[in-house]
Amino acid sequence: MRRLAGLLAVCALLAGCGLDAAYKLPFDVGPGSIRPVPALHGVSITVGSKNFTEQILLGYIAEVALTAAGADVQDMTNIQGSPSARQALEVGDIDLYWEYTGTSWINFQQQTVPIPDERAQYDAVKKADAERFGIAWLDYSPVNDKYALATTREFADKYKLRTMSDMVALLKKDPSLGTMCMESEFISRQDGLLGAEKTYGFNVPDRDIKTFGVGAIYATLAGGRTCNFGEVFTTDGRVLTLDLAVLEDDKKTFPQYNAAVTVRTEFLDRYPQLADVLEPVSAKLTNEVILELSVRIDGDGADPAVVARDWLVKEGFVTNPSA
């Protein structure tokens, strides 16, 4: 039942992606260390992203950088879910977006065993995507946005929870405490709840799973009433602002999720300069940077596009003509 629900949700998302309009950045961008690239001048490049804070931020970082290089960038961030974003890339509705190595390995390559080493996981995904799907990966970034389960600090302290094994031991003693807030995609993914249940030897009944959108999980979990545990991303700023306790994945069920720009091979072959523009930016991104910028968006309510521009200005990649 759980897998069927997940598939139905994906079908609904594919039918309602809204990939029929694109928008431009609401501000001007000047060159910094990213100089105008003649081969990219006026080239229409549509940048996509999935529908959560980090992805939208990464999408805008790519858009600002490419705009400084002279490309005619179209914004199509906030696509609902990994399958929809990937399909949009494959069929040409978007030209590039940031993907995660673990997501491609498990979801798109249909592998069941993650590769624990970051470089080896990236190399395997890059090779498989090029051979099977004609998708190229630019160099991966230090950003490693892994799935995790979290609870409130108060709940973790009360039951002395530090790891996922601690959580499983608690639920075996008292199954009534195993209420979970999760998004539908995570519930049905092999690199999500299904894989965690297999690795740690537990099962969450459907009645104990409360389904929310990604953004709503954090606030609902912090409220401490609807669920005791929830799905989070380790680089999400709300982990800090809401003081959530992230449980260590001590049996390493969740794969490596290094972020990298993915682009159709034929598009990259036409415009290899994309790598020259985006890879230096990617190399500067870290988990700490993403957490800091995400707090500005989710905690302070800042516009993700502005946050992306300001970071690129700070790092010297671009300039702000209006400053």
Residue 31 resides in a domain: yes
Q: Are residues 123 and 208 in the same domain?
A: no
Q: Are residues 132 and 70 in the same domain?
A: yes
Cβ proximity of 157 and 215 under 8 Å: no
What is the spatial order of strands in the sheet that 259-264 belongs to? 72-79, 44-50, 96-100, 259-264, 135-137
Q: Are residues 37 and 163 in the same domain?
A: no
Distance CA 150, CA 153 (A): 9
**Count of C-beta atoms within a 10 Å radius of residue 103:** 23
Q: pLDDT (tens digit, 9 = 90+) per residue, 56-108?
A: 999 999 999 999 999 999 999 999 999 999 999 999 999 999 999 999 998 89
Side-chain half-sphere of 234: how many Cα atoms within 13 Å? Answer: 19
Question: CA-based diameter of the chain, in Å?
Answer: 65
Q: Are residues 238 and 271 in the same domain?
A: no
Residue 127 has pLDDT above 60, yes or no: yes
Residue 268 has pLDDT above 70, yes or no: yes
Which of 201, 217, 246 is the last residue in one of the domains? 246
Q: Which of 127-136, 147-156, 207-216, 303-312 has the lowest mean pLDDT?
A: 207-216
Range of the domain at 28: 2-144+257-319
Q: Tokens at residue 20, please?
A: 């029929």
Q: Indicate the SS3 state at residue 209.
A: strand
Query: Domains in the chain: how many in total?
Result: 2
Residue 91 resides in a domain: yes
**pLDDT at site 87:** 97
Q: pLDDT (tens digit, 9 = 90+) per residue, 217-231?
A: 999 999 999 999 999
The mean per-residue pLDDT over the stretch 1-15 comes to 38
Q: Are residues 140 and 20 in the same domain?
A: yes
